Structure 1
Amino acid sequence: MTLDREQALNTATVLSTALPYIQKFSGKTLVIKYGGNAMVDENLKIQFARDVVLLKTVGINPVVVHGGGPQIGDLLEKLNIESKFIDGMRVTDSATMDVVEMVLGGQVNKDIVNLINNQGGSAIGLTGKDGKLITADKLKVTRKSPEMQQPEIIDIGHVGQVRSVNTDLINMLVSSDFIPVIAPVGVDEKGQSYNINADLVAGKVAEILKAEKLMLLTNTAGLLDKQGEVLTGLNAKQVDDLIADGTIYGGMLPKIQCALDAVRAGVKRAHIIDGRVSHSILLEIFTDQGVGTLITNEKLD
Structure 2
Amino acid sequence: MQRQSYRFPHDKGSSAPLRQDSDTSDVQASFVMKCGGSTLAALPEAFFADLAQLQADGVRPVIVHGGGPAISDNLEKLGIPTEFVHGLRRTTEEVLDVVEMVLAGTINKLIVRRIQSAGGKALGLSGSDGSLIQAEPVANAAEVGLVGDVVRVEADIVAGVLSMGYMPVIAPLGVDAQGQRYNINADTAAGAVASFVGARRMIVVTDVPGILKTVDGVKAALPSVTFAEIEDMIASGEIYGGMIPKVRAAMKCLHGNVEEVVIVDGSEERVLSRLLSGEAIGTTIRR
TM-score range for the pair, normalised by the shorter chain length: 0.7 to 0.9
Alpha-carbon deviation of 1:104? Answer: 0.6
Higher relative contact order (CA 8 A, sep 6+): 2
| Corresponding residue for residue 271 of structure 2 | 280
Q: Secondary structure at the match of 1:180?
A: strand
Structure 2 unaligned segments of length 5 or more: list them: 1-27
Q: How does 1:69-84 map to 2 (within 5 A)?
A: 69-84=68-83
- In structure 1, the residue matched to 2:131 is 132
Structure 2 partner of 1:24:
none
1:244 and 1:98 mapped to 2: Cα distance?
35
Amino acid corresponding to residue 181 of structure 1 in structure 2: V
Cα separation, 1, equivalents of 2:30 and 2:80: 39
Paired residues for 1:242-253 under 5 Å: 242-243=233-234, 247-253=238-244
Q: How far off its partner does 1:261 sit?
A: 1.7
SS at 1:265 equivalent: coil
CA distance in 2, matches of 1:36, 1:183: 10
Q: 2:4 — aligned with what?
A: none
Residues 250, 38 of structure 1: CA spacing in aligned structure 2 closer, same or farther, 3 A cutoff? closer
The root-mean-square deviation of aligned C-alpha atoms, in Å, is 2.0
Q: TM-score, normalized by length of structure 2?
A: 0.83
User: 1:167 maps to which residue?
Assistant: 155
Amino acid at match of 2:284: L
Query: Are 1:36 and 1:217, in contact at CA under 8 Å, matched by a contact in 2?
Result: no
> CA shift at 1:258, angstroms?
1.1
Q: Is 2:197 the counterpart of 1:209? A: yes
Q: Does 2:286 correspond to 1:296? A: yes
Once the two structures are superposed, residues 185-237 of structure 1 have per-residue CA deviations (whole angstroms, 9 ceiling, x without a partner) of 11111101111011111101111112121011122221111321211233444
Q: Which residue of 2 aligns with 1:180?
A: 168
What is the CA deviation profile of residues 240-289 of structure 1, one whole-angstrom value per residue up to 9, with x for unaligned ones?
A: 45445654344322211111122232212101111243433233323523
Q: CA deviation at 1:238?
A: 4.3
AA paired with 1:123? Answer: A
Which amino acid counterpart does residue 169 of structure 2 have in structure 1?
A: V
Q: Which residue of 2 aligns with 1:219?
A: 207
CA distance in 1, matches of 2:238, 2:76: 35
Aligned to 1:196: 184
Distance 1:257 1:236 in 2: 9
8 A contact 1:38–1:48 mirrored in 2:
no
- Whole-Å Cα distance in 2 between the matches of residues 140 and 45 of structure 1? 39
Question: CA shift at 1:122, angstroms?
Answer: 1.6
Distance 1:45 1:107 in 2: 19
Paired residue type of 2:135: A
Which whole-Å CA distance do the structure 2 matches of 1:164 and 1:192 have between them? 15
Q: Please name the residue that 2:98 is paired with.
A: 99
In structure 1, C-alpha distance between the alignment counterparts of 2:54 and 2:227, rounded to whole Å? 28
Distance across 2 between alignment mates of 1:213 and 1:118? 26
Q: Give the secondary-structure state (helix, strand or coil) at the position aligned to 1:222.
A: coil
Q: Compare CA radii of gyration and give the structure with the larger one.
A: 1
Give yes or no for contact 1:222–1:230 (8 Å, CA) kept in 2: yes
Q: Which has the higher helix share?
A: 1
2:33 aligned partner: 32
Structure 1 residue 37 displacement after superposition: 4.8
- Further displaced range: 74-83 or 154-163: 154-163
